[in-house]
Chains A and B, each alone.
Chain A
Amino acid sequence: MLKKPLLYSEEAFIIGAEHLFGGVLMAIEKSYAEINAKIKAGKAVVVTAEELISMVDEKGVEKTTEEVDVVTTGTFAPMCSSGVFLNLGHTTPKMKMHQVWLNNVPAYGGIAAVDAYLGATALPDNDPLNNNYPGEFKYGGGHVIEDLVARKPVRFRATGYGTDCYPRREIETNITLDEINEAILFNPRNAYQSYNCGVNLTSRTVYTYLGMLKPNLGNAHYSTSGQLSPLLKDPNFNTIGVGTRIFLGGGTGYVVWNGTQHFPEFLQIDSDGEQKGPAGGTLSVLGDLKQMKPEWLIGTSYLGYGATLSVGIGIPIPMLNEEVCRNAAVKDKDLYAPVIDYGEAYPNAKPGYMKLVSFAELKSGKIIVNGKEVPTAPLSSYPKAKKIAAQLKDWVAEGEFTLGEPSQLLPSADAGLKGKPLKG
């Protein structure tokens, strides 16, 4: 029989991992399997990230890590890199769909015969765009996705060039989400870890994806749920990875890869080198659109910018150890967003930011930029983020939603991933 060192005797584990033994503090370690067993037995202790903050304040990290099994997070915001793969089913006679439209919004048909990908920012061919500046972008791909999920009939049109095996050349009909074979929401970049706070230093109003920014620092817009936001609560990607099961659009989804432009880093203030929280991480997520709810996938229009989709995402974080707990309990006052001028600096790709502001400052309703008091407003709905975290908490607590153990974690800031500019 293998002789174990005394320090790690079975007794020590029986006494309880948190016990002091031989002068060494045994760290708390929980496995996915243990937590899932508790979830299935309806015994898991689940709290939202907001609740965790108060618990840690009250009881400390160690005790909270011991007591809590899962922490839930949430975010609800416009996420442009979103869309849905559709399989429309075969017609009689068969058809290879070359060009495809849903409610007049073009989808990408450059995949197999009756498959298409509808992007959230796609616009109808006859949209006036920004010709009548600022354009309204009333209806786009995100709105089609919302209509599909709301079970509204959608006008489907396709043309083909005709082949021997797929002779039909056109179709125009109504479809509903339940009538087509599959609809898989696949969003290549969602849930940005932290996001820019946009201001405008120029003397004219600018219309951006961060909303309408008034001239001369008239307002400041940000778009993150701060202390409830999934990737701000797992800054080092200790738990989120390929296969993490999530709340997606009101149904169940998965993290399938890192998002595009996944360049995680820690924000720093140059002078003192102090770390100011994580930023730059993103997720690729996927889920069955047929399970989703219109409340959590909403077609969205930004004046002068375009159409998109607002997506609700919630991620459960397993309390594996104290580090995970400590990270998940970080508060708005310790999480930061860079302030960037969208009038001049951003469009001209000037690097850097004006300053860092905490989410506590942003949520207070005003920040100071260049010595001026600037009113702030969010674009991401905190009430909805809260509702998502609460819904996910109920699912896990009731044993309906178990944790997906990642088969591979996502690269963290240590990987040093950086964006490359496009030359030309």
Chain B
Amino acid sequence: MSPKRIVLRFDATIADQPIIYRLVSDFGLVVNIIKANVNPQKEGTMVMEITGENNKQGLEYLRGQGVQVHTLTENIIRNEEQCTSCGACTAICPSGALYLTRPSMEVHFDSDQCVVCHLCTKICPVRAMEAHF
């Protein structure tokens, strides 16, 4: 069975729960965490691959815990021509994929860090962030 790539988003109240442990112990899933951005008292994001027969039930469990679960079938890209380097996305992007360098204040996009949460596609004032399937 080929692994399923998923992205999890959760708020601060869930960040200290052993949800990944439960996926492994209760649902017998093989979990491979690709990247994680978890801080106590802050919203967290995680991208991982899961393999196992009970993956549907595992995902249901996560959703039941208030975790937003999306499968990673999309890619977010930045239209470089369109981006004005305004910076409006940089304190919104939860994974640090969109970030400023100082002192130039240029905005950069590291798609490897992106967890496809779609926040930037909605808040970018000039619609420079695009979702591609």
A-B pairs with the 10 shortest C-beta distances? A382-B105, A377-B91, A219-B91, A378-B87, A383-B85, A300-B125, A375-B91, A377-B90, A381-B86, A381-B84
Chain B residues, Cβ within 8 Å of A134: 122
In the complex, the answer to whether A378 meets B102 with C-beta atoms within 8 Å is no
In the complex, the answer to whether B91 meets A220 with C-beta atoms within 8 Å is yes
In the complex, the answer to whether A300 meets B126 with C-beta atoms within 8 Å is yes
The CA-CA distance from A136 to B123 in the complex, in Å, is 9
Interchain CB contact (< 8 A) of A381 among B87, B119, B122, B123: B87
User: Can you report 13 residue pairs joining A to B where beta carbons are below 8 Å apart?
Assistant: A76-B84, A78-B125, A136-B122, A138-B127, A219-B91, A310-B125, A375-B91, A377-B89, A377-B90, A377-B92, A379-B86, A381-B84, A384-B84
In the complex, the answer to whether B123 meets A377 with C-beta atoms within 8 Å is no
Q: Mark A375-395, 1 if CB is under 8 A from B, else 0.
A: 111111111100000000000
Q: Known: A300-B125, A301-B127. Contact between A211 and B102, CB under 8 A? A: no
In the complex, the answer to whether B103 meets A212 with C-beta atoms within 8 Å is no
In the complex, the answer to whether A363 meets B91 with C-beta atoms within 8 Å is no
In the complex, the answer to whether B92 meets A212 with C-beta atoms within 8 Å is yes
Interchain CB contact (< 8 A) of A301 among B89, B100, B106, B125: B125
The CA-CA distance from A377 to B123 in the complex, in Å, is 13
In the complex, the answer to whether A298 meets B102 with C-beta atoms within 8 Å is no
The tally of residues in B whose CB lies under 8 Å from a CB in A reads 21
Other than the given A78-B125, A364-B102, A378-B88, 18 more pairs (CB < 8 A) read A138-B127, A211-B123, A212-B92, A301-B126, A303-B123, A310-B86, A363-B102, A363-B105, A365-B102, A377-B89, A377-B90, A377-B92, A378-B86, A379-B86, A381-B84, A381-B86, A382-B104, A384-B86
The CA-CA distance from A376 to B92 in the complex, in Å, is 10
In the complex, the answer to whether A379 meets B102 with C-beta atoms within 8 Å is no
Interchain CB contact (< 8 A) of B88 among A214, A299, A364, A379: A379
In the complex, the answer to whether A383 meets B105 with C-beta atoms within 8 Å is yes
The CA-CA distance from A262 to B84 in the complex, in Å, is 28
Q: Which of B85, B105, B106, B123 has the most CB of A within 10 A?
A: B105
In the complex, the answer to whether B125 meets A302 with C-beta atoms within 8 Å is yes
Determine the residue in chain A with the shortest Cβ distance to B90. A377
Chain B nearest Cβ from A53, distance in angstroms:
12
The CA-CA distance from A401 to B50 in the complex, in Å, is 63
Chain B residues, Cβ within 8 Å of A383: 85, 104-106
In the complex, the answer to whether A221 meets B91 with C-beta atoms within 8 Å is yes
The CA-CA distance from A214 to B94 in the complex, in Å, is 11
In the complex, the answer to whether A219 meets B85 with C-beta atoms within 8 Å is no
Q: Mark B11-52, 1 if CB is under 8 A from A, else 0.
A: 000000000000000000000000000000000000000000
Interchain CB contact (< 8 A) of A365 among B88, B100, B123: B100
The CA-CA distance from A375 to B43 in the complex, in Å, is 14
Chain B interface, >50% SS class: loop
Interchain CB contact (< 8 A) of A377 among B100, B106, B126: B100
Chain A residues, Cβ within 8 Å of B119: 212
Determine the residue in chain B with the shortest Cβ distance to A300. B125
The CA-CA distance from A412 to B85 in the complex, in Å, is 32
Query: In the complex, which range does the number of interface residues on chain A fall in?
Result: 20 to 34
Chain A residues, Cβ within 8 Å of B103: 363
Chain B residues, Cβ within 8 Å of A384: 84-86
Interchain CB contact (< 8 A) of A212 among B100, B123, B127: B123
Q: Mark A74-92, 1 if CB is under 8 A from B, else 0.
A: 0011100000000000000
Chain A residues, Cβ within 8 Å of B87: 377-379, 381-382
Determine the residue in chain B with the shortest Cβ distance to A146. B126
Q: Mark A291-328, 1 if CB is under 8 A from B, else 0.
A: 00000001111110000001000000000000000000
Determine the residue in chain B with the shortest Cβ distance to A366. B91
Chain A residues, Cβ within 8 Å of B105: 363, 378, 381-383
Chain B nearest Cβ from A9, distance in angstroms:
48
The CA-CA distance from A239 to B45 in the complex, in Å, is 51
Q: Known: A377-B100, A384-B84. Contact between A219 and B92, CB under 8 A? A: yes
The CA-CA distance from A220 to B123 in the complex, in Å, is 15
Q: Which of A211, A302, A303 has the most CB of B within 10 A?
A: A211
The CA-CA distance from A303 to B100 in the complex, in Å, is 21
Chain B nearest Cβ from A310, distance in angstroms:
7
Chain B residues, Cβ within 8 Å of A380: 86
Chain B residues, Cβ within 8 Å of A138: 127
Chain A residues, Cβ within 8 Å of B91: 214, 218-221, 375-377
Chain B residues, Cβ within 8 Å of A376: 91
The CA-CA distance from A214 to B84 in the complex, in Å, is 22
Q: Mark A350-373, 1 if CB is under 8 A from B, else 0.
A: 000000000000011100000000
Q: Mark B115-133, 1 if CB is under 8 A from A, else 0.
A: 0000100110111000000
Determine the residue in chain B with the shortest Cβ distance to A376. B91
